[in-house]
Chain A
Amino acid sequence: MTTEKETLNYGPVLFHYDLFPEKIERHGKVKKVITKRGTFALKEAEMSEDERNWFTHVIQRLSEIGFHQVVPLYPTKFGDYTVQLGPKTYYLMPWFASDERNERAKDEVLLDHLGKVHALTLKEQDFSNEVVEHSYQYLMNRWENRQFEMERFTEEAEQKTYMSPFELTYLSHFHQIMRMTEEAKRRLRDWYDTCQREKRYRSVLCHGKVSRNHLIFNPSGEGHLLNFEKAVLDTPVRDLAVYFRRAAHQRDWSIEEGKALLDLYEKHVPLLNEERGLLISYLSYPEPVFNAVDLYCSKRTQYSQIELVHRLESRIRAMKKIRDFCDAIMIAPPPSMDENAPKNIHIHDEEDHI
């Protein structure tokens, strides 16, 4: 139930929409705002002015280039698409109730939409050695630094007479983790060499935070993407890596399902060999495992040992699934183009490009 305080808190925001809330429900960072004029979703975010401008540009541009499966933003009565109050940014969307009947199809719709967005915004970039060099060096340095931190954690753990259950679990998988790290680095080097040789790379509009939670179905059952706050122009592999890494953590996720979803995506944007290699590189790098170690080091007093071990084991299990998935997609033949797929997926025309 809405309290008077909440009405006052969100009043200055909803004033921009001439809405007076009858009830406000919290759903994480989204507030469900029930008013006489309808039910709305109010999202709270932290964005700089540049990020706000980019975000609204992305939403408008997607509509202009023909992708309408995005949850629309309502303009304020002053014509703005976001409201800035102090450090917080707010934007208003229609409220779509979750429909559990569509939950099973969510991943398919998500990858299909992602493929469409990528296809509509795909652009072969003019080769810039500086950009490729910077991207490669930046990522490689970051990965090597992280690897060094993990090796140091391993050495410290090995010197202990009595290791904690977490340390024992980590150490028993250490060599495997390092093999995956090396594999990721090797694939990254391969991508770099191919870019240098072929003098090409492609960019698309990446959603930036691909997740099942960022797809909702409208009352007529049509899936809509939302939360483009972190959208960025980057390799299509970026979104795919985020999606598959997250998906592999689901207990019932299978390699076959992953392959089918990647095939579905590739009906819109068939990956180039070097992009496939880059995807394997991103996926192979065991960042989620390293993050579990970080959490153990920094917040071990806030969680029980069993919780931390479970978290680590779950990530190692996912990593193994990812490794098998990478093997599977490496040997998979390129998918045939569907007759229904868009014919012209490379949009080189400046007019049509984000």
Chain B
Amino acid sequence: MGLINLLENEYDLYGVRWKQEPHIIMTDFGEKRVRYWKDEELLKWHVRWRDESSKGSFAVPDRMIRTRDGEDAVFDGRHWITLHDFAETPFGCEEVERWGQFIGQLLTAAVQGQYEKELPVKQHSFHFNDCMELAKQFADGTFQIVNKSLAEAKKRMIFAEALKKKVPKAAVPVFEKEIGIDNGKRIFHFLFYQGGDSQPVQSYLPIRNFLFEWLEHNSPLSLKMILTEIDRIFPLSGEQGLLLLAEITTPWELNDCLQGLDNTSLEKLVEGMNRYEAIWEANRTFLKTITEWFDENRKKVAL
């Protein structure tokens, strides 16, 4: 029995045909995405975060459509197969409230779900010494931005460590590796979030990257607005807020900046340095905006 037949039978669908084999099908209920899973535990995690983070929210992740028997996946002998809604119209960034609700709900589900107990998760850590090694050849004083950024990075790293030490027992939530604005699609007027199928990570890095991407597309004010919206659903004033702030303070971009430098020719080196400076400055603005928001929020609480 072919995959199309299997899907028709298991999901009570009619007239199924490929739109984009092997991922997108056309059905009598519209376009659907097909996902394939080899690891059942990973599949279960993806089912769970999608189900949990959809609760009560006007944003809907691409949950697994249930089979006629109520199962979240079918097995074709080789893979577990899941079926999802599919949309192509981008949601955009205009509706800050909707994005904030979704990220807040995602955070709530990630913290309450204690997903780290279910399957092995990757953990990221920043290695300053590796960066120092990479920077050696550029740190002779010719390139001020490198020296300046190294000094700043060290301070930030110490600050981030201090923040983490304040909350040694706080559980770091587990997320999908990448949370991106492009994954937000529009169905009716709500945010439909198309998740992925990657191994999860136990880190605030995906949220940090999302917020940075938000600032790339929007103003610092908009970044503060989305933090406020997230805070309504998932309070950032406590331990989890400190963990997020620690992740944002950690100079992750230093590694990217240094990796992008190429001294095989002067032209490439100058180009690399310009890029370095741009990334570094963008991250400074990002960090400044975030810390301002945390300060403003703390003052509000204190008042």
Q: Which of B29, B64, B189 contacts A78 (CB 8 A)?
A: B64
How far apart are the CA atoms of A42 and B54 in the complex, in Å?
A: 20
Chain B residues near A85: list those with CB within 8 A.
56, 58
Q: Which of A77, A78, A86 contacts B58 (CB 8 A)?
A: A86
Query: Contact at B188–A78, with CB atoms within 8 Å?
Result: no
- Let me know if A39 is at the binding interface, CB within 8 A: no
Q: How far is the CB of B151 from the nearest CB of chain A, in Å?
A: 48
Query: Contact at B51–A86, with CB atoms within 8 Å?
Result: no
Q: How far is the CB of A140 from the nearest CB of chain B, in Å?
A: 39
Q: How far is the CB of A47 from the nearest CB of chain B, in Å?
A: 11
Q: Which of A8, A75, A79, A86 contacts B189 (CB 8 A)?
A: A8
How far apart are the CA atoms of A7 and B187 in the complex, in Å?
A: 12
Q: How far is the CB of B65 from the nearest CB of chain A, in Å?
A: 5
- Let me know if A84 is at the binding interface, CB within 8 A: yes
- Identity of the chain B residue whose Cβ is nearest the Cβ of A84 in the assembled complex: B56
Chain A residues near B70: list those with CB within 8 A.
75, 79
- Contacts A8-B189, A12-B188, A12-B190; A84 near B55 (Cβ below 8 A): yes
Q: Which of B55, B66, B190 contacts A77 (CB 8 A)?
A: B66
- Let me know if A18 is at the binding interface, CB within 8 A: yes
Q: How far is the CB of B207 from the nearest CB of chain A, in Å?
A: 23
Query: Contact at A75–B66, with CB atoms within 8 Å?
Result: yes
- Contacts A77-B65, A78-B51, A86-B58; A15 near B187 (Cβ below 8 A): yes
Query: Contact at B30–A78, with CB atoms within 8 Å?
Result: no
Q: Which of A11, A18, A75, A79 contacts B188 (CB 8 A)?
A: A11
Query: Contact at B55–A78, with CB atoms within 8 Å?
Result: no
Q: How far is the CB of A182 from the nearest CB of chain B, in Å?
A: 47
Chain A residues near B51: list those with CB within 8 A.
78
- Let me know if B46 is at the binding interface, CB within 8 A: no
How far apart are the CA atoms of A18 and B14 in the complex, in Å?
A: 14
- Let me know if B107 is at the binding interface, CB within 8 A: no
Query: Contact at A78–B56, with CB atoms within 8 Å?
Result: no
A-B contact number at CB 8 A: 40
- Contacts A77-B65, A78-B66; A8 near B188 (Cβ below 8 A): yes
Chain B residues near A78: list those with CB within 8 A.
51, 54, 63-66
- Identity of the chain A residue whose Cβ is nearest the Cβ of B56 in the assembled complex: A84
Secondary structure at the B interface, as helix, strand, loop or mixed, is loop
Interface size on B, residues (CB 8 A): 19
Q: How far is the CB of B56 from the nearest CB of chain A, in Å?
A: 5
Query: What is the size category of the interface that chain A forms with chain B?
Result: 10 to 19
How far apart are the CA atoms of A8 and B58 in the complex, in Å?
A: 12
- Let me know if B60 is at the binding interface, CB within 8 A: yes
Which residues 211-246 of B have a CB within 8 angstroms of A? none
Query: Contact at A11–B189, with CB atoms within 8 Å?
Result: yes
Which residues 1-37 of A have a CB within 8 angstroms of B? 7-8, 11-12, 15, 18
- Identity of the chain B residue whose Cβ is nearest the Cβ of A16 in the assembled complex: B60
Which residues 177-209 of B have a CB within 8 angstroms of A? 187-190
- Identity of the chain A residue whose Cβ is nearest the Cβ of B64 in the assembled complex: A78
Q: Which of A8, A11, A18 contacts B30 (CB 8 A)?
A: A18
Chain A residues near B72: list those with CB within 8 A.
79
Chain A residues near B64: list those with CB within 8 A.
78
- Identity of the chain A residue whose Cβ is nearest the Cβ of B69 in the assembled complex: A79
Chain A residues near B30: list those with CB within 8 A.
18
Chain A residues near B189: list those with CB within 8 A.
8, 11-12
Q: How far is the CB of A82 from the nearest CB of chain B, in Å?
A: 11
Chain B residues near A18: list those with CB within 8 A.
29-30
How far apart are the CA atoms of A86 and B55 in the complex, in Å?
A: 9
How far apart are the CA atoms of A78 and B54 in the complex, in Å?
A: 11
How far apart are the CA atoms of A306 and B157 in the complex, in Å?
A: 77
Chain A residues near B187: list those with CB within 8 A.
11-12, 15
Which residues 44-77 of B have a CB within 8 angstroms of A? 51, 54-56, 58, 60, 63-66, 70, 72
Query: Contact at B190–A86, with CB atoms within 8 Å?
Result: no
How far apart are the CA atoms of A275 and B65 in the complex, in Å?
A: 48
Query: Contact at B188–A15, with CB atoms within 8 Å?
Result: yes
Chain B residues near A12: list those with CB within 8 A.
58, 60, 187-190
- Identity of the chain B residue whose Cβ is nearest the Cβ of A14 in the assembled complex: B188
Chain B residues near A77: list those with CB within 8 A.
29, 65-66
Which residues 261-288 of B have a CB within 8 angstroms of A? none
- Which residue, of A18, A75, A78, has the highest number of chain B Cβ atoms within 10 A? A78
**Interface 0/1 of A58-97, CB less than 8 Å to B:** 0000000000000000010111000011100000000000
- Identity of the chain B residue whose Cβ is nearest the Cβ of A36 in the assembled complex: B28
How far apart are the CA atoms of A151 and B192 in the complex, in Å?
A: 58
Q: How far is the CB of A349 from the nearest CB of chain B, in Å?
A: 27
How far apart are the CA atoms of A78 and B98 in the complex, in Å?
A: 21
Which residues 84-134 of A have a CB within 8 angstroms of B? 84-86
Chain A residues near B55: list those with CB within 8 A.
84
Q: How far is the CB of A11 from the nearest CB of chain B, in Å?
A: 3
Q: How far is the CB of A162 from the nearest CB of chain B, in Å?
A: 53
Q: Which of B56, B60, B66 contacts A15 (CB 8 A)?
A: B60
How far apart are the CA atoms of A85 and B190 in the complex, in Å?
A: 11
Query: Contact at A86–B56, with CB atoms within 8 Å?
Result: yes
How far apart are the CA atoms of A7 and B189 in the complex, in Å?
A: 10
- Identity of the chain A residue whose Cβ is nearest the Cβ of B72 in the assembled complex: A79
- Identity of the chain A residue whose Cβ is nearest the Cβ of B27 in the assembled complex: A18
Beyond the given pairs A8-B188, A77-B65, A85-B56, 7 more chain A to chain B contacts, judged by CB atoms under 8 angstroms and listed by A's residue number, are: A11-B187, A15-B187, A75-B66, A78-B51, A78-B63, A78-B64, A86-B56
Give 22 A-B contacts (CB < 8 Å), ordered by A residue.
A11-B187, A11-B188, A11-B189, A11-B190, A12-B187, A12-B189, A12-B190, A15-B60, A15-B85, A15-B187, A15-B188, A15-B190, A18-B29, A18-B30, A75-B70, A77-B65, A78-B64, A78-B66, A79-B66, A79-B70, A84-B55, A85-B58
Nearest first, the 8 closest Cβ-Cβ pairs linking A and B are A11-B188, A79-B66, A18-B29, A12-B190, A84-B56, A78-B63, A77-B65, A79-B70
